[in-house]
Amino acid sequence: MRASLRTIISLAAFVPMAAAGSEQDQIAKVCKPADAEDCIVREFKHTLEASKIRGRIVYKNYCVLCHGETGMGDGRAAKVHTPKPANLVASKAPPEYIDLIVRKGGEGVGRYRGMPPWGDQLTDEQIADVKNYLVALRRP
């Protein structure tokens, strides 16, 4: 029972990765570079690529104010916050933590209250999208 559960979990982790490769090929076949983003969001809406594109839109609408255009924590409202907004490019937080702090806000996870709770404002899809965008934004 326990071993089979582990198998299912490892399979579940493996399948999306295996699918991602073929998705890239599919996207490259169908979408022309000129309108690649529109095409990906339209034709491949369930892929990670589409999620990251939608996530960038969420980010530019809501997060950019404090975290800045490039995610460095230098948005126009950064000046009224101490401590400063997090540098998301340098973040090493696990994706589940991003999900939690986005939904509950800084205060909700015992950190600085400057980060608002977005659980009421954003849909589950928007939160998943912005999480995928943020993970992709990171630089080692």
Residues at the site binding another protein, with contacts judged by CB under 8 A:
61-62, 65-66, 76-77, 79-81, 105, 107, 113-114, 116-118, 120-121
Tell the smallest beta-carbon distance from residue 121 to another protein (Å). Answer: 6
**Residue 96, token pair as written in the block:** 């589940």
Residue 31 phi/psi, 5° resolution?
A: -95, 130
17: exposed, middle or buried (Cβ count in 10 Å: 0-12, 13-18, 19+): exposed
Tell the smallest beta-carbon distance from residue 117 to another protein (Å). Answer: 6
Tell the smallest beta-carbon distance from residue 32 to another protein (Å). Answer: 32
- The Cα–Cα gap between 110 and 53 comes to 30
Q: Do 96 and 19 meet the contact criterion of CB atoms below 8 Å apart?
A: no
> Is 26 or 99 the residue whose CB approaches another protein more closely?
99
Q: Would the CA dihedral through 23, 26, 27, 28 be positive or negative?
A: positive
> Is 36 or 112 the residue whose CB approaches another protein more closely?
112
Tell the smallest beta-carbon distance from residue 83 to another protein (Å). Answer: 12
> Is 6 or 79 the residue whose CB approaches another protein more closely?
79
